[in-house]
Structure 1
Amino acid sequence: MRFLKLYLLSVFALFLLACYDDDEGPEFSFDREISEISVLEDCSTDTADGRSCYKIRYRYPYHLDDYSGLCVWLDTVIVDDTSKAVNNKQIAQAHDSSNKEAFFFEYKTNGRYYDTLDLTDRVAQFIDDGYDSLQVALFCEYSDGRDPGAVQRTVLRFKDNIAPSNVVPEDSVWSKGVLISWDRPTDQTSFHKQGENDGKIFGYNVVIYAIDRPDEDIRDLKVSVQTPKGTDYTGDKYFKRDAQIVRSVDSFYVQNVERSDKVKNYLRLVIFDGEGYNTQDPAKNNFRLIIEGLRTRSNTEDYEYKIGFSAWDEVGNRSGSQGDPQVDPKDWRGFMTTDSIAPLMPKKIFFEEDSLFPGFAKLDSNNHVRIYWNRSVDPLKFKHGISVDSELVIPRGCNIQECYEDVSKYTVKYYNKLDKSWNLYADADKDGIYSRYRRDGKGGFEYDALDTASFISYTIRRVAPGDTIILRLNSVDSSGYKSGVLQDTVFVSPGKLGDELKCPEGFVAVSTSDTTSFCMERYEHRSADGKFMTNVLHSEAVAACEAISASGFEVSLCKERDWELTCLSGGSLPYGVIEEDDKSSDYLFRYCNVSTGNAAIAEDIAKRDPQCMNPMGVRDLPGQFQEWVMGRSEDSVAVVKGSSYMIYEGLDRESIAYCTNRAFPYYTRPGYTQDTVYLYREGTKVDTVYAADTTRTLYQKLTTKDFKDTLQFYDVIDANGKVIGKDFSLYSEYKKGGDAWLDSLANGLTYKPTTKEAVFLTGEKLYYRAAASFYKSSTIGFRCCAYKK
């Protein structure tokens, strides 16, 4: 007996050791928990009292056998915010219908993977009690007594406690002032609505501070504010002086601030807003603050100012530290005024003239135009004696470092007539981009490496023959002071071909060989209201081009070979754009909108990048929209050329953008045969072929009488009642779907049922190219060509 007791004790000890686990706490089975929990703040209809709806969507546990339902506890009274497990008492409270903090949601088999809890009515009492947020604990109950899953939690948020996005103001300075601009920030008002960011902004705190100069009084500087609603010069409408937005417990308000001499080097402003971010017109989110009367930078002392900034939404959430040094000095943004004398700029731009077209700028073989202007200087005194005209004339004895200095850089902007904006050339503010030139005595210019060379040169790239370029030039001195604007217009030579053809408006002259030239639309064809014509049939594209009247020309849809050779530009440009040597794929993506998925750029001509151009001035041959062309033969009339903004899975953008690529639009239809079908047996396998094979053992021969499948054929009719092609579908689909299904198949055309035919379905997919005549897509447009009569 003694040995039996020792044996039993040892077995029990081994059992304990075997069950021992280093991890403390209960173990749970993850497949017995709900997952993918999300909070929906959504009402299908407005509630009577205007409240928001609160719903929890979740995925059922993977293990549904013996699943009874979901225990739900609101707040932390019954289930706290840390426990992973619950006891029988807590589960019982969830089943007690009189308990307002808990309930049980019974599972009823419905064949779905997800379910939704509507908690709107249950959380109303918590909202009325002033809760900002509410914990919801969820626990899956099973009837089999096995290990359960852990408690899951989520949080319902009832109030907007999300700050607006940070504002990053930009500044532009001059000798006695600064212009500070910023865009209205986005504001997410609900934690549960990630995509909605147009909450209203109450206003902005702005603090200007004269650093380490308590003697400088900036309280009464001249201030004006430009908002999307209008301009305020006095501070009685859109801004307020000596004020700031503050928060106190549950409220926020605008309070007046001290104006004592102790803080006279501070200027505090509140700028009012009251609107949310405008996604339709982003330009209407812009604010501008202009402050005048600051100290001018001198040669002996730099006057630095700093600005603090914060944005407040309509419930008092704030982003930014508003410049209080004790909050976060890193949030101060510094700026310095310029000196008191601006650099001088001449009044004219020079260029090399085309010998065939006097007065027009010469366009070189790389589509470059080189411009010149007399170099700018920065006077050191107001009475400098330098005369300003088309050139700067410096009087004798007025040498560098005595009455003027060199400027540090130039800016060159061009006017975009499409969106009526001024744009900086991408490389025009880089160091070393400008070269020094001097007159060559023959009316031209020659390079001169000496500092004494009096002309500056800049090369404008990707210029089309006949372009009109409106330019604005500034020089910038070492203090950041910009000169006055040199604005001038450069008319580019149309070239011999352009002069000979004199293309209709909207067309440019192109040449595909030594003997072949014609006119092509610069962009894809647009309607009278300026919108690109897409989603049209090939026949409609043909009709639109033939309807264009141009004296001396015959206008038609561009022929495939003409389109392709124009794109190739003599065979040197496989993608139809100038200088695509800066990495083709990236270039096509950034400038030509090839395979970006961005339809907005394609549809809005003002958003397109002018750098996607071929040497003859034709725009957007790759990217934007694919284009209908006239095919090379009668059996392939409807052909598509070019690439579009659409992303094609498995195809890289370089491959689809080749000028030589061609496509035949098609629909996928079930493959079928009406020939005799021979079935052959090879062992236990039955093989199908559509012609007799005398080398194998015939199993069965199927003829038309054995065919059990039926196809319905249709005449496809356009808006003018003309039959433009034939299509087909399974008769069973047509019978089941009826006219409504047929309308969806027709894609805006008319499908008239004609015949039904018994067939043998092969189980394959047929790429039905005959559909090209009645295929249309929002990604396909076209362009017209004009040929001399």
Structure 2
Amino acid sequence: MRYLKLYLLFSLAVFFFACADDDEGDEFSFDREISEVSVLKECASDAPEGSVCFKIRYRYPIRLKNYSGLCVWLDTTIVDSTSRSVSDKQIDKAHSKSVRDAFFVKYDSTSGSYYDTLDLTDSIAHFIEDGYKTLQVAMFSEYSDDGDPGALQRVFLSFVDDQPPSKVEPLKDSVWSTGAMFEWYRPMDRTDILTPGEYSGLIFGYNIVIWAKDADEDLSKLKITLQSPDGVDYEGNRLYKRHAHIHTHYDSLLVDSSSNIDKQKNYLHLVVFDGKGYDTQNINKNRFRLFIEGLRTQSETEKYQYTIGLSSWDMAGNYSGSEMSNPVDSNQVIRRTDSIAPLMAKRIFTEEDSLFPGFAKLDSNNRLRIFWSRSLDPLSKNHGIEVDSELVVPRGCNENSCYKIVSHYEIEYYNKLDDSWNAYSYAGGKTRYSERYGRDEDGHFYRDYTGVGSFVTDTIRWVAPGDTLILRIRGVDNSGYYSAALVDSVFVSPGDVAADLNCPEGFVAVSTSDTTSFCMERFEHRDDDGKFMTGVLHSEALAACEGISASGFEVSLCGERDWELVCLSGGSLAYGVIEENGSEASDYLFRVCNVGTGNAELAANVTMRDPGCMNSMGVRDLPGQYQEWVRGRSEDTAAVLKGSSYMVFNGLDRESIAYCTNRAFPYYTRPGYTLDTVYLYREGTKIDTVYAADTTRTLYEKLTPKDFRDTLQFYDVVDANGKTIGEDFSLYREYKKGGKSWLDSLANGLTYKPSSKKVVFLTGEKLHYREAASFYKSPAVGFRCCAYRK
């Protein structure tokens, strides 16, 4: 028991000395154990379709001298789940070919690699057939000497979905005197911890419980209406069930619809059915709304009369939410209102742009100021107040005797991209409307210090010239009762540049000087289906832009200098985005422009993007989302990238890569090499490699091409049209070992045709191979087109 005995002696020694230092725990030779262990759920190229495949990738121990290989044990029958070392008997079983669930992986010292990968697909098949949900894989590095052992390593393979959906809570959208409407969005569900990008697992449904504090109140008579992506259900006949509950029974997922579920009449349980996964293309197709009617009107003594709880369940029986975990009295409170709703005017007013009559003007920071007649909350139904563009209060109807001022306002905008209403995070609220404004005969607004002015104001930020804003403003009284919505459209002045340029659809007018103007795509270029075109060659981006037909314009890939000047907006914007709120640039770029977040899903979905990432001309997402191909300034730098992307660039801060003036040249990392004579000079105990003779130093060795032993394989890189667009290379041994599947992964969607082999001297350096610019493709790189007047 060579390892176990050694381990015991070692442990005693550690214990003796460790106690003197008040230290605890076992110690192992970390340099004699594998590291960087990761589980890959991927199949070999010849695996049958639908196979459940697992691989384990690991780095060899740091100390390879006398390293024999890796012992591997499956399940806990040979090695349990707590041991940190192993016995000779357990090691012998790993070497025995008669033991099915243990094996030994011999180290190949000639491979030249630091990593190895174990394909466990065949070895774990019988565990899956036997119904295992998880499986332990234990690994131990074996050495041929009697040195100190490394620690036993473990990973666990999961064969079932044990990941609960993301937590979802019902959000109150509106309330009235006897009811409320709650909405929630279908949660994301990871079906496999090994593939974190997969989050669209199917949701079985939702448990909802409504509870009344009064034990004598009968909730079975509540009117429930469900509005889901599959339609509307008024009675609970199709999309939801009353007096029902989702639960698990062994491996089954059941809906218990027994009438005994609501034994107490102040409880009402509902099951809402789903059956779909999260829709990333249209967020509104994930939205559910529950209308509850028949509640008591809120009074000062009954503020916490009702609560609601919700839990979401996936197809494997995993759940998350408050309905299963909280006592009913601590769930979300259902508030109602008093019996009289506030009144709201019917029109929004703005300051008019004198150059464009009928259009609202923006200030120099793309802000729009709006005004409306303040909302009032009547104390009785016979108030006599008239509702029009302004609220007209009859004589004798005074504040606090006839009406009150509302508590606050909610201001929303209509997003045409995804057909939804969205609240402005910075507008509305309870503390912004103490100032009153009047309006003179010329339509100009002024601050009224007498306190009798009937208008209030707010500011909308990050508005693009030429935009049409559809706004919704609602007054909310102290009981939470919403007024009827003031919905109005505001037409924003297009600005001087747009007046002179009739840009094609999807383009906005931009200027780079007092005399130079053209049109630029508002977003990165999208295809006919509305999807962003990424992962394209520079030549493909050029062709896509030049294929656009626009009367009076020549369309091409934006020039580097044009892109940069538009981003700078006359030198006032360092990142091509209007910054406010005094936040740090790196935080703003991360939070608003998706720079360096790793969130590819947000970049791909235009409806999820933050409209605050915009420059003063209305061009969106210049610093982030996707890097963009542009036409370089010379033939030597034709393929240039501007801006940054969602990609995380190690070693680079977000600010430096997002500067408008920053330019990037794409490259692949390749091994450095030379075909010339190499001179090796001794410097103390080190050998210095140079490529030119130096008579002032002592020559250690001179290598000519006949002494070189390294071989590179070169390839012609061919595009989809069969055209050779560049040359690439790799180590010949990687090419021979990897085969066609490895070469295809290197080709990145192109075709690599082996062309020649060269015997070289590898310098040990990592070369930034810029010749790859002609065939560089990345999912984080897109482009946008510019239209220039003929």
TM-score, normalising length: structure 1: 0.76
Question: 1:5 maps to which residue?
Answer: none
Question: 1:601 maps to which residue?
Answer: 602
Deviation at 1:566, TM superposition (A): 1.2
SS at match of 2:358: strand
Q: How far apart, CA to CA, are the structure 1 residues paired with 2:91 and 2:571?
A: 78
1:211 aligns with 2:213: yes
Question: 1:307 maps to which residue?
Answer: 308
Question: 1:295 maps to which residue?
Answer: 296
Percentage identity across aligned positions?
59
Letter in 1 for 2:182: I
Structure 1 residues 763 and 159, CA, compared in 2 at 3 Å: closer, same or farther? closer
SS at match of 1:520: strand
SS at match of 2:221: coil
SS at match of 2:629: strand
SS at match of 1:179: strand
Q: How far apart, CA to CA, are the structure 2 residues paired with 1:368 and 1:377?
A: 27
Deviation at 1:711, TM superposition (A): 7.4
Structure 1 residues 758 and 165, CA, compared in 2 at 3 Å: closer, same or farther? closer
Cα-to-partner distance string for 1:485-542 (whole Å, 9 max, x where unaligned): 1111111111122101222222222222222222222222223332323333333333
1:401 aligns with 2:403: no
SS at match of 2:443: coil
Q: How far apart, CA to CA, are the structure 2 residues paired with 1:139 and 1:709?
A: 34
Deviation at 1:477, TM superposition (A): 0.6
Question: 1:366 maps to which residue?
Answer: 365
Letter in 1 for 2:526: R
Structure 1 residues 84 and 23, CA, compared in 2 at 3 Å: closer, same or farther? farther
Question: 1:663 maps to which residue?
Answer: 664
Letter in 1 for 2:410: T
Question: 1:620 maps to which residue?
Answer: 621
The gaps in structure 2 that reach 5 residues or longer are 1-11, 20-25, 109-115
1:525 aligns with 2:525: yes
Letter in 2 for 1:407: V
SS at match of 1:523: coil
Letter in 2 for 1:353: E
Structure 1 residues 445 and 528, CA, compared in 2 at 3 Å: closer, same or farther? same
Q: How far apart, CA to CA, are the structure 2 residues paired with 1:305 and 1:619?
A: 45
Cα-to-partner distance string for 1:207-266 (whole Å, 9 max, x where unaligned): 43332362x444312222334444322233344445556789999762544699x95544
Deviation at 1:716, TM superposition (A): 5.7
Contact 1:667 1:769 (C-alpha < 8 Å) held by counterparts: yes
Cα-to-partner distance string for 1:700-759 (whole Å, 9 max, x where unaligned): 9888888888878776665556665x5364795799589958776655556678888887
Cα-to-partner distance string for 1:391-447 (whole Å, 9 max, x where unaligned): 100000001111211001111111111222211111124333345321134311012
Question: 1:12 maps to which residue?
Answer: none
Contact 1:73 1:103 (C-alpha < 8 Å) held by counterparts: no
Contact 1:345 1:483 (C-alpha < 8 Å) held by counterparts: yes
Letter in 2 for 1:539: S
Deviation at 1:544, TM superposition (A): 2.9
Question: 2:540 maps to which residue?
Answer: 540
Q: How far apart, CA to CA, are the structure 2 residues paired with 1:619 and 1:44?
A: 42
Cα-to-partner distance string for 1:164-212 (whole Å, 9 max, x where unaligned): 7765333342111122334456778899999988777665554433323
Q: How far apart, CA to CA, are the structure 1 residues paired with 2:711 and 2:93?
A: 63
Contact 1:594 1:622 (C-alpha < 8 Å) held by counterparts: yes
Structure 1 residues 669 and 463, CA, compared in 2 at 3 Å: closer, same or farther? same
Structure 1 residues 404 and 574, CA, compared in 2 at 3 Å: closer, same or farther? same
Q: How many residues align?
A: 754
Q: How far apart, CA to CA, are the structure 2 residues paired with 1:106 and 1:400?
A: 86
Q: How far apart, CA to CA, are the structure 1 residues paired with 2:583 and 2:320?
A: 41
Deviation at 1:567, TM superposition (A): 1.0
Letter in 2 for 1:210: A
Contact 1:465 1:493 (C-alpha < 8 Å) held by counterparts: yes
Question: 2:784 maps to which residue?
Answer: 783
SS at match of 1:556: strand
Cα-to-partner distance string for 1:562-621 (whole Å, 9 max, x where unaligned): 221111111121111112542110111111121222222223322222111111111111
Contact 2:681 2:688 (C-alpha < 8 Å) held by counterparts: yes
Question: 1:443 maps to which residue?
Answer: 443
Q: Which moved more, 1:574-583 or 1:57-66?
A: 57-66
Letter in 1 for 2:214: D
1:515 aligns with 2:520: no
Residue from 171, 180, 183 that aligns with 1:181: 183
Letter in 1 for 2:256: V
Contact 1:592 1:622 (C-alpha < 8 Å) held by counterparts: yes
Q: How far apart, CA to CA, are the structure 1 residues paired with 2:395 and 2:723?
A: 83
Q: How far apart, CA to CA, are the structure 2 residues paired with 1:276 and 1:170?
A: 20
Structure 1 residues 649 and 36, CA, compared in 2 at 3 Å: closer, same or farther? closer
SS at match of 2:603: helix
Structure 1 residues 465 and 59, CA, compared in 2 at 3 Å: closer, same or farther? closer
Contact 1:734 1:742 (C-alpha < 8 Å) held by counterparts: no
Deviation at 1:287, TM superposition (A): 3.6
Letter in 1 for 2:367: H
Question: 1:417 maps to which residue?
Answer: 416
Deviation at 1:92, TM superposition (A): 14
Structure 1 residues 56 and 623, CA, compared in 2 at 3 Å: closer, same or farther? closer
Structure 1 residues 237 and 670, CA, compared in 2 at 3 Å: closer, same or farther? closer
Q: How far apart, CA to CA, are the structure 1 residues paired with 2:89 and 2:524?
A: 73
The equivalences for 1:552-591 within 5 A come to 552-579=552-579, 581-591=582-592
Contact 2:101 2:123 (C-alpha < 8 Å) held by counterparts: no
Q: How far apart, CA to CA, are the structure 1 residues paired with 2:701 and 2:371?
A: 86
Question: 1:648 maps to which residue?
Answer: 649
Question: 2:6 maps to which residue?
Answer: none
Deviation at 1:280, TM superposition (A): 7.5
Contact 1:352 1:361 (C-alpha < 8 Å) held by counterparts: yes
The equivalences for 1:24-39 within 5 A come to none
Q: How far apart, CA to CA, are the structure 2 residues paired with 1:743 and 1:42?
A: 16
Contact 1:588 1:594 (C-alpha < 8 Å) held by counterparts: yes
Q: Which moved more, 1:328-337 or 1:519-528?
A: 328-337
Deviation at 1:375, TM superposition (A): 0.5
Structure 1 residues 158 and 276, CA, compared in 2 at 3 Å: closer, same or farther? same
Letter in 1 for 2:479: S
Q: How far apart, CA to CA, are the structure 2 residues paired with 1:712 and 1:363?
A: 60
Q: How far apart, CA to CA, are the structure 2 residues paired with 1:18 and 1:763?
A: 42
Q: How far apart, CA to CA, are the structure 1 residues paired with 2:163 and 2:674?
A: 64
Structure 1 residues 469 and 290, CA, compared in 2 at 3 Å: closer, same or farther? same
Structure 1 residues 751 and 569, CA, compared in 2 at 3 Å: closer, same or farther? same
Q: How far apart, CA to CA, are the structure 1 residues paired with 2:328 and 2:486?
A: 40
Q: Which moved more, 1:582-591 or 1:527-536?
A: 527-536
The gaps in structure 1 that reach 5 residues or longer are 1-16
Structure 1 residues 533 and 43, CA, compared in 2 at 3 Å: closer, same or farther? closer
Deviation at 1:384, TM superposition (A): 0.8
Structure 1 residues 390 and 714, CA, compared in 2 at 3 Å: closer, same or farther? same
TM-score, normalising length: structure 2: 0.76
Structure 1 residues 199 and 682, CA, compared in 2 at 3 Å: closer, same or farther? closer
Question: 2:339 maps to which residue?
Answer: 340
Q: How far apart, CA to CA, are the structure 2 residues paired with 1:739 and 1:284?
A: 44
Structure 1 residues 440 and 230, CA, compared in 2 at 3 Å: closer, same or farther? closer
Q: How far apart, CA to CA, are the structure 2 residues paired with 1:696 and 1:89?
A: 58
Question: 1:237 maps to which residue?
Answer: 238
The equivalences for 1:451-490 within 5 A come to 451-490=451-490
Letter in 2 for 1:649: N
Question: 1:592 maps to which residue?
Answer: 593
